[in-house]
Amino acid sequence: MPAKIPKPDRAKLAHIAELFRVFSEPTRLAILQALRSRAMSVNELVDLLETSQANVSKQLKTLHEADLLHREQRGNQVFYAIKEQMVFELCEIVCDKLNRTARANAEMVFQI
């Protein structure tokens, strides 16, 4: 008799899906990439990403609420830093998959 498969816990899956949604916006990914090397102020991120302060602040709020970033007030500026290093592990897994797919597609082109 096959092992019984447990029924998925929809509430737990919803929490997992919510965290994955945090990674679904390109500006948020750009912010994470920028913060990989050091903490940065909102103004530095605005200059680097060439987008509006309102957009950067909105995305930072989402990342902070997901508990992925530290926020520190220094004088009249707020600096953000990566709190959860797993974001880079996750990004590496995704990038490895995309690179494998790209290599496979490139190999197919040369086999024609």
Residue 99 lies in a domain: no
Residue 105 lies in a domain: no
Residue 52 lies in a domain: yes
Residue 77 lies in a domain: yes
Say whether pLDDT at 112 is over 80: no
> At 41, which amino acid appears?
S
Residue 111 lies in a domain: no
What's the domain range around 73? 10-84
Residue 26 lies in a domain: yes
Residue 94 lies in a domain: no
Say whether pLDDT at 111 is over 90: no
Say whether pLDDT at 93 is over 80: yes
pTM for the full model?
0.84
Domain at 71, CATH number:
1.10.10.10
Instruction: State pLDDT tens for residues 14-64.
Output: 999 999 999 999 999 999 999 999 999 999 999 999 999 999 999 999 999
Q: How many domains does the chain have?
A: 1
Residue 106 lies in a domain: no
53 near 77, Cβ under 8 Å? Answer: no
